[in-house]
Amino acid sequence: MLVLAIESSCDETGIALYDTEQGLIGHEVYSQIKIHADYGGVVPELASRDHVRKTIPIIKALMAKHNLNKADISAIAYTAGPGLVGALMVGACIAKSLAFAWGIPAIEVHHMEGHLLAPMLEDNKPDFPFVALLVSGGHTQIVEVKGIGEYEILGESIDDAAGEAFDKTAKLLGLDYPGGPLLAKLALKGEPNKFKFPRPMTDRPGLDFSFSGLKTAAANAIRKEGIHLAGGQSTQENAPENVEQTKADIAHAFQQAVVDTIAIKCRRAIEQTGHKTLVIAGGVSANTELREKLEVLMKKHGGSVFYPRPEFCTDNGAMIAYAGAQRFHLGSKDLAVKAKPRWSIEDLPAL
Q: Average pLDDT, stretch 231-259?
A: 78
% of the chain with per-residue pLDDT over 70: 96
Q: Could you tell me whether strands 277-281 and 23-31 are parallel, antiparallel, or unpaired per DSSP bridges?
A: unpaired
83 vs 229, which has greater pLDDT? 83
Give residue 240's pLDDT: 54
> pLDDT tier at 242 (50, 70, 90 boundaries)?
confident
Give residue 88's pLDDT: 98
pLDDT in tens, 5-38: 999 999 999 999 999 999 999 999 999 999 999 9
Is the distance from CB of 118 to CB of 322 less than 8 angstroms?
yes
Question: H or E segment at 343?
Answer: none
> pLDDT tier at 229 (50, 70, 90 boundaries)?
low
pLDDT in tens, 146-176: 999 999 999 999 999 999 999 999 999 999 9
Give residue 231's pLDDT: 39
Of 261, 244, 259, 278, the C-alpha closest to 207 is 261
CA 317/CA 155 separation, integer angstroms: 27
> pLDDT tier at 81 (50, 70, 90 boundaries)?
very high
225 vs 93, which has greater pLDDT? 93
Is the distance from CB of 128 to CB of 351 less than 8 angstroms?
no
Q: Average pLDDT, stretch 97-108?
A: 97
3-state DSSP: the chain helix, strand, coil percent, rounded to 5?
A: 45, 20, 30
pLDDT in tens, 114-132: 999 999 999 999 999 999 9
Helices and strands (H and E) in the chain: how many: 10, 12
CA 18/CA 32 separation, integer angstroms: 24
Examine residue 310 and say whether the peptide bond preceding it is cis (omega within 30 degrees of 0).
no
Give residue 241's pLDDT: 57
- Count of other CB atoms within 10 angstroms of residue 20: 13
Task: Please give the angle made by the CA atoms of 95, 150 and 165, to the nearest 5 degrees.
Answer: 75
> pLDDT tier at 232 (50, 70, 90 boundaries)?
very low
The whole-chain average pLDDT of the chain stands at 94
% of the chain with per-residue pLDDT over 90: 92
Give residue 137's pLDDT: 80
- Count of other CB atoms within 10 angstroms of residue 183: 29
CA 159/CA 138 separation, integer angstroms: 10
> pLDDT tier at 226 (50, 70, 90 boundaries)?
confident
Query: 284 to each of 39, 163, 164, 258, 350, how far by Cα in Å?
Result: 22, 6, 10, 11, 27
> pLDDT tier at 60 (50, 70, 90 boundaries)?
very high
- Count of other CB atoms within 10 angstroms of residue 21: 6
Instruction: Enumerate the β-bridge partners of residue 134.
Output: 141, 281
pLDDT in tens, 129-154: 999 999 988 899 999 999 999 999 99
Using the predicted structure, report yes or no on whether residue 252 has a pLDDT greater than 80.
yes
pLDDT in tens, 295-310: 999 999 999 999 999 9
Using the predicted structure, report yes or no on whether residue 230 has a pLDDT greater than 50.
no
